[in-house]
Each structure stands twice: as C-alpha cells, then as structure tokens.
Amino acid sequence: MRILSLNYEYPPLGGGGGKVTESLNDQLSKLDNQIITLTSYIKGQKKVNKENPNNIIFRVHSLRKNIGFSNTFEKIGYIISAIYNVGTLIKNFKPEIVHCHFAVPTGFVAYYIKKRYKIPYILTSHGGDVPGFTPKETGIYFKYFNWLFKPIWRNATEISTVSQGVANLIKNSYKRNPIVIHNGIKVLDYQKSVIKSEEGTVNLLFAGRLNKQKNIGFLIDALSYLKNDNWMLTIAGDGPELKIIKQKIHKYNLNKKINLLGWIDSKKIKQLLSKSDILCLTSENEGLPIIGLESLASGLAVIGLDNYGINDIIENEKNGFLINPKTPENFAKYLDILLQNQKMLNKMKDMSFELSKNFEWEKITQSYIKLFIKTLSAWDIGKNLFGKYSSGKGNLSQNTSKIVATKIKKDKKFNIHIDR
C-alpha cells in the first residue's frame, strides 16, 4: 500500500502526535507498505531522509524556529509550503491513500489533495484540533474560523482518534462517529524503572510542552501543599508558560526541589524515565499522552487529573491515582500517600508495566491497517486486500520509495540532495 502521511510535526519537532506518526509509519513500512511523510523543516534537519527503504521523510519550509512548539504563522507556513510541493510527490509516488494527523493545520493539505487529485484521506485527531479540548488556547479560533475547519472533517473518508473523550467531542462538534485507536508503545525499547527501597528520594517527573493545556502551574501549586519532603521534581519541556512557572517556583521557595531541563530529545527522555518513579499529569485534557505510555512501559506510577486521555492510562488505585476533585490540595494529598508508602508505590510501578502491554504497537498497527482497507474499499479500490497487507506480503509496487527518492532528486523544483 502506498501511503502519503501528513503531519506538520515529526521528530525531533513537536510532541506526542509526531512520535505517533513516526512509530506507526515505522511499523507499516515493516509490513512492506511504502510511506512518504510530508512534514515541517527546521534548521539542522535533512530535507529528505530515508528511515528505511519503504519509509521516506520529506520536510518543507514552514518558518519553524522552535523544536518544541509552533505559532499560527508557522502552521500556515506549513500549509502553503506543503500544498506547493505535494504535486510532485503525488506525481512520482502515486499514493493510494492519505493519512492526515491533526485536522488543523494538516487537514487543509489533505483536503486540497482530495479535491485536486481525488485521493481519499483518513483523519486522525490527537485532541487539540477539536472544539472544547483546550478552550483557553484554541477557543477563539474555533469561534471565528470553525466554518473553515468543518469541510476538513466532512470530507474525510474515515476518522480516527486516540481516546473516547476526544471521540465524544468530535461527535458533538462535527456529527462524525470516529473509531478509537489508542496510541502505541514499543515496550521493549524502555528500561524499567528501579524498584524503590524503603528509604531514599522519590523522583517525580513532568515532561511536555509548557503551555496552558498542560497546566503545569497547577502542579507547582500542588507541590507547595506536600507534607513529605522526600521528593525531587524534574521538568523536561519548554513553552510560553516557562516564565510563570519560574515565578511560582520562586514564590514557593522550591528552587532546590525542582530541576528545569528544557526541551530534551527522545533518547534523553528514555534515560530520564528509567530514573523516575512517578509521572505527574496535570493537563486540562489529553488525546492519549505519549509520555504517559512511555511511563507505563518504564514502570512509573502515574498520578493525574481525571480528564480525557489521562483516564485511559490510569486505573485508579492500581497503577496510580485519578484526582477528582481537581484541586492542588487534593493532588498533594494523594501524592503524599505515595511519598510515605513506598510499598504501595512499588506495587503501582509494577502494575503500570503490566498495563503497558495493552498498548503494544503491533496491535495498534493492525487496527490502522483495517481502517486503511475500509477507506480504500469505500472508494472501490481496496477489495480483497486486507489479508495481503496485514500479513506484510502485499507489496503493490516494488522499490517505490527508491524510485520516488531518485525522481525527487532529479526534480529541479526541490533543489535538494538526498543522502544514500
């Protein structure tokens, strides 16, 4: 199957949505499907990179300046640049289907491809592209521009999302009934966190964008209410809320208890997880947080607010606590329970590792393959293909990615060099 994958963020750019795209495409390519991912360029990255012979990453200029987050103008830059360049990709690659991650901004590119080239697209929502998910940050955009977004949802042949909470928001806003396919994790890629002894510091972790949705100011407030002092918090991330976070840390005199790392790459995240004990999730809502799945695979207990996405990875009182009422004092209360009861903490850490096996990528990939075949069948071009593709034996065209890479290299429009 030839799949054109669209995501304005792809590692090292962005957060969980990009990591999902990377991992899913890697799995699909190993089943002899050919993938080209059209994403954003940032200085220091190759404009074309072959992950493997069946998996090519193509980056277009989008004015992107920051690895961790992007602004509205950079998102618009991706839309314009992707639409400008996609014609040559389609001409050479001849994708059978488009997989679009995020309705906004990526969905505009998928919509254009469908109207211009008559290729169906699957839309996967990760949460932030749906009204009501992050009202403080995106409410004004949906209030004035939702009329622009509705055709993207309406024209998607199939829609998937990563949690039931987001699925409910999509139903309410766009009258579509998405299939829920959770994000996945490669459990064997993670080193299990060390079981704690009865003494010693408990290492807390927060990792993600420092924006209003992640609500990390709430976490700093909660830490000020802790009765136990045997903890250290590491914050890995960057974003517009950093200044406010520093002010709160100073206000509560927690400078010696909190370590601000800034944005770190996936390799360092894995190392950090192996040394941590408890993941703190204070987001107002989540799609299905990748850092949450990574924490399960690393054997961390998880404590988080009882919100969309978070309640998909926490089984209350088994591998952590779901906090409701959602107050800093209540969050601190349950965190204190784990700080003073390391036997319970170790039991929850073990349970998290066991739960991670439910999110193995092999299972998740099969769900996407079924959705791809369903989409192709709806267009009368995918009949009787499911058995071939799901077994990894159905290669519609041999060496497609090599041919595409060669043709792109010769195309003066791109004016780029491809490393072999």
State phi, psi for 355 to the nearest 5 degrees: -65, -30
CA dihedral 56, 57, 58, 62 (to 10 degrees): 170
| Span 163-168, average pLDDT | 94
pLDDT of residue 417: 28
What average pLDDT does range 221-225 have in this prediction?
97
Question: 256 phi and psi, to 5 degrees?
Answer: -85, -5
The domains found in the chain, sorted by start residue, are 2-184+360-410 (3.40.50.2000), 187-359 (3.40.50.2000)
Residue 77 has a pLDDT of 96
- Omega prior to 12 cis, within 30 of 0: yes
What local confidence, expressed as pLDDT, does residue 412 receive?
40
- Residues 45-97 have pLDDT tens digits of 999 999 899 999 999 999 999 888 889 999 999 999 999 999 999 999 999 99
Which of 322-331, 335-344, 389-398 bottoms out in mean pLDDT, i.e. has the lowest?
389-398
Q: How far is residue 331's CA from residue 306's CA, in Å, rounded to a whole number? A: 11
Condensed to tens digits (0 to 9), the pLDDT of residues 355-382 reads 999 999 999 999 999 999 999 988 764 4
Which pTM does this prediction carry?
0.81
Cβ atoms within 10 A of the Cβ of 320, count?
A: 31
Could you tell me the pLDDT band of residue 185, with boundaries at 50, 70 and 90?
very high
pLDDT number for residue 136: 78
> Comparing C-alpha atoms, which of 360, 355, 352, 356 is closest to residue 300?
352
- Name, in order, each residue with C-beta under 8 angstroms of 23's C-beta and a sequence gap of 6 or more: 184, 185, 186, 361
The CA-based angle 124-125-127, given to 5 degrees, is 160
- Contacting residues for 239 by C-beta, under 8 A, at least 6 apart: 68, 69, 209, 210, 211, 214
Return the ∠ at Cα 262 (arms to 12 and 348), rounded to 5°: 90
